[in-house]
């Protein structure tokens, strides 16, 4: 990494207008620049990271996240490109869960299941924004009202994106409620570290700090059992290419159409620790993900099919992006053995994930 950096050089944050929603709401964009060639653009619609420019081994900064140039494309159809996900990231079986004996029903927006917060989740609402210049951060806030998308309780949510001169983008989540509810927030960036969105991500070399993963049923709901990764294609304890075993005969790969699973991260004590990495050898870019969360979903863009426009004039073909979504396990509200996702009044939900970029 460039060594000229100093802790004292401020991050610059510039604001402009990204577009207007079909309901007439102005969507702002914030561009955060550090002194090592990294530039992150975030919009108030969905808290979406629309672009993330990172230097390659020749010090050329290129965009490494999938997304669109136009707000109208995000409004039309998006597989959650770059978005904040809430109130509950990942799936809830049949959209049903109970708290203290009272059953709640959420929208089934993914076959029989509820996915990523519903029809209008946190990825499709306009957040309030505040620039925190002194710490190089952007604070987004959103009040999700009692029973919005079927979830109980008024949930005050804050997400703080911080860029540092060490090429780290940190995402800090905080939420409070006035009624018992469930919360599982995440960030849904699709990475392609080559900077070329026409290239599949199969040559990225990935590692995941997990001895176990969570097998799923035919609807991608956890069976409830955790499985050792040893001797399965889910073993990423030693770095290997995403594509190395993605197409082998394996029931879990068949169900996910590739990798679309949550790994049970090692060292679960709520503290930040290394969770996963991805290295793209041609560009030299290395992404390391640190988090306080117990799980991480690796999704390999198995539903991308060449129909959505990319930012470089083409379309997003099969497996041209991958997500590393730090989170609690899917369907936790219905799985007693999984760490709880319940938030009670008086408690504070807090969670942190850092995306660190360097050259290897």
- Is 188 known to be catalytic? yes
Number of residues that bind ligand BGC (CB under 6 A): 9
| Catalytic position from the list 204, 279, 325, 328 | 325
Among 297, 310, 341, 353, binds ligand BGC (CB under 6 A): 297
As a whole number of angstroms, the distance between CA 155 and CA 122 comes to 11
Among 2, 228, 270, 303, binds ligand BGC (CB under 6 A): 303
Among 161, 173, 213, 299, binds ligand BGC (CB under 6 A): 299
Q: Please, which residue, 170 or 260, has the CB nearer to ligand BGC? A: 260
Whether 161 and 171 have beta carbons less than 8 Å apart is answered as yes
Residue 49 CB, nearest approach to ligand BGC (Å): 15
Among 123, 149, 293, 325, binds ligand BGC (CB under 6 A): 325
245-284 binders of ligand BGC (CB under 6 A): 260
Site string for ligand BGC, 81-110 (x = CB under 6 A): ------------------------------
214-243 binders of ligand BGC (CB under 6 A): 220
Instruction: Quote the Cα angle for 179-150-103, to 5°.
Output: 75
Burial 51-87 (b: 16+ CB within 10 A, else e): bbbbbbeeeebbbbbbbbbebebbbeebbbbbbbbbb
Decide: is 80 part of the binding site for ligand BGC (CB under 6 A).
Answer: yes
Whether 296 and 327 have beta carbons less than 8 Å apart is answered as yes
Token pair recorded at residue 31 = 């561009």
Whether 292 and 265 have beta carbons less than 8 Å apart is answered as no
Decide: is 68 part of the binding site for ligand BGC (CB under 6 A).
Answer: no
Beta strands 210-213; 186-188: pairing state: unpaired
Whether 224 and 212 have beta carbons less than 8 Å apart is answered as no
Site residues (vs ligand BGC, CB under 6 A): 79-80, 220, 260, 297, 299, 303, 323, 325
Residue positions annotated with a catalytic role: 188, 325
């Amino acid at each position: 990494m460039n060594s000229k950096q100093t802790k004292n050089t401020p991050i610059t944050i510039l604001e402009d207008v990204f577009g207007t929603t079909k309901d007439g709401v102005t969507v702002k964009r914030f561009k955060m620049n550090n002194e090592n060639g990294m530039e992150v653009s975030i919009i108030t619609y969905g808290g979406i990271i629309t672009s993330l420019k990172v230097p390659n081994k020749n010090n050329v900064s290129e965009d490494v996240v999938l997304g669109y140039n136009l707000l109208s494309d995000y409004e039309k159809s998006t597989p959650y490109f770059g978005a904040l996900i809430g109130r509950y990231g990942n799936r809830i079986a049949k959209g049903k869960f109970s708290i203290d004996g009272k059953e709640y029903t959420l929208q089934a927006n993914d076959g029989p299941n509820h996915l990523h917060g519903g029809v209008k989740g946190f990825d499709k609402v306009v957040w309030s924004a505040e620039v925190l210049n002194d710490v190089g951060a952007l604070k987004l806030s959103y009040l999700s009202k009692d029973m919005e998308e079927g979830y109980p309780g008024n949930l005050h949510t804050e997400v703080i994106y911080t860029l540092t001169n060490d090429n780290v983008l940190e995402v800090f989540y905080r939420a409070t409620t006035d009624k018992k509810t469930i919360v599982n927030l995440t960030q849904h960036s699709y990475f392609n570290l080559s900077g070329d969105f026409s290239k599949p991500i199969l040559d990225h070399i990935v590692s995941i700090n997990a001895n176990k993963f969570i097998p799923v049923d035919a609807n991608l709901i956890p069976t409830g059992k955790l499985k050792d990764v040893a001797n399965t294609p889910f073993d990423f304890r030693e770095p290997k290419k995403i594509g190395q075993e993605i197409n082998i005969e394996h029931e879990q790969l068949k169900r996910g159409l590739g990798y679309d699973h949550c790994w049970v991260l090692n060292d679960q004590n709520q503290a930040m620790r290394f969770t996963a990495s991805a290295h793209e050898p041609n560009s030299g870019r290395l992404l390391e993900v640190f988090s306080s969360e117990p799980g991480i979903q690796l999704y390999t863009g198995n539903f991308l099919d060449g129909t959505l426009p990319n930012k470089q004039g083409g379309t997003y073909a099969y497996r041209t992006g991958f997500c590393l979504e730090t989170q609690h396990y899917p369907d936790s509200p219905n799985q007693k053995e999984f760490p709880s996702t319940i938030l009670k009044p008086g408690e504070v939900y807090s969670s942190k994930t850092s995306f660190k970029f360097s050259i290897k």
